[in-house]
Amino acid sequence: MSQPDFKTMSRKELHTYVLTHREDKEAFHQYVDKLHAEATWIEMPPVELPEDLDNYPEFIERVSKMRSQDNT
């Protein structure tokens, strides 16, 4: 069986593949590399209460955009 071309897969496709082929280390490494390349995370200090997130509107906006993209 031939190996899929991980570089052409979307992050979501690769994520699904990694979950169904957990033993495939190459796929996992490609997935982590793609996560780092896309850098979709937001760095911020830890919060103690959910209300503290109100001080980070860019975080709320970015999470909302990511959720709407995942639902399409």
* pTM recorded for the entire structure: 0.57
Tens-place pLDDT, residues 4-53: 999 999 999 999 999 999 999 999 999 999 988 887 677 778 889 988 88
Q: Which candidate, 24, 14, 11, places its Cα nearest to that of 70?
A: 11
pLDDT of residue 1: 60
